[in-house]
Amino acid sequence: MREIDAVVIGGGVLGCFAARNLTRWQVSALLIEEKNDVCTGITRANTAVVYPGYDNKPGSLKAAMTVRGNGEFHLLCRELEVPFKRCGSLMVSFGNRADKVLRKKYEQGLKNGVPGLRLLSGGEAGVLEPFLAPEVTSALLAPSTGTVNPWELGIAAYENAVQNGCEAWLNTRVLKIRKEKKRYIMETDREPIACRAVLNCAGVSADKIQELLFPPSVRLFLDGTDFLVMDRQMEVPGHIIFHESEEKGKGITAVPAVEGNLLLSSSKRPLHGGLYATDASSLERLRSTAAFLFPDLELEGVIRSFAAVRPNPYRVEVLNGEIVPDEKSIDSFVIENPGPGFWSLIGIKTPGLTCADQLGRYIALKTAEYLDAPPNSGFNARRKSITRLSGLDFESRVLLAEKDPDHGEIICQCEGISKGEILEAIRRGAVTVDGVKRRVGTGMGQCQGSRCSRMISNLLEGAGDEA
Tell me the pLDDT tens digit for each residue of 81-120.
999 999 999 999 999 999 999 999 999 999 999 999 999 9
CA distance 6 to 27: 7
Query: Are 442 and 422 spatial neighbours (Cβ–Cβ below 8 Å)?
Result: yes
Residue 413 in any domain: the answer is yes
323, 399: one domain: no
Q: What is the largest CA-CA distance in the chain?
A: 72
Q: DSSP assignment, residue 462? A: H
pLDDT for residue 273 is more than 80: no
324, 300: one domain: no
227, 363: one domain: no
CATH of the domain at 211: 3.50.50.60
Residue 379 in any domain: the answer is no
Query: Are 238 and 87 spatial neighbours (Cβ–Cβ below 8 Å)?
Result: yes
CA distance 308 to 47: 9
pLDDT, tens digit, 9 for 90 and up, residues 6-41: 999 999 999 999 999 999 999 999 999 999 999 998
Q: Please give the tally of structural domains in the chain.
A: 3
131, 237: one domain: yes
Three-state helix/strand/coil letters over 406-428: HHHCEEECCCCEEHHHHHHHHHC
Predicted local confidence at residue 449, as pLDDT? 86
Question: Please, which residues bridge with residue 322 across strands?
Answer: 319
276, 348: one domain: no
Residue 458 in any domain: the answer is yes
Predicted local confidence at residue 246, as pLDDT? 80
Backbone angles phi, psi at 173, to 5 degrees: -105, 140
254, 300: one domain: yes
pLDDT for residue 467 is more than 80: no
CA distance 76 to 294: 33
Buried b (16+ CB within 10 A) or exposed e, 90-126: bbbbbeeebbebbeebbebbeebebeebebbebeebb
Query: Are 355 and 333 spatial neighbours (Cβ–Cβ below 8 Å)?
Result: yes
pLDDT for residue 245 is more than 90: no
Name which of 60, 140, 141 is nearest 100 in CA terms. 140
Residue 292 DSSP SS3: helix
- Could you give the C-alpha distances from 416 to 206, 399, 410, in angstroms and in order? 39, 16, 6
Query: Are 145 and 350 spatial neighbours (Cβ–Cβ below 8 Å)?
Result: no
393, 453: one domain: yes
Q: Which amino acid is at 459?
A: L
Name which of 117, 139, 313 is nearest 218 in CA terms. 313
pLDDT for residue 341 is more than 60: yes
pLDDT for residue 332 is more than 70: yes
Query: Are 324 and 316 spatial neighbours (Cβ–Cβ below 8 Å)?
Result: yes
Q: Which amino acid is at 74?
A: H
Mean pLDDT, to the nearest integer, of 426-446? 92
Report the Cα–Cα distance between both ends of the chain, in Å, rounded.
27
Distance, C-alpha 155 to centroid of its chain: 10
Q: Which domain holds residue 17?
A: 2-45+151-220+312-371
Predicted local confidence at residue 276, as pLDDT? 84
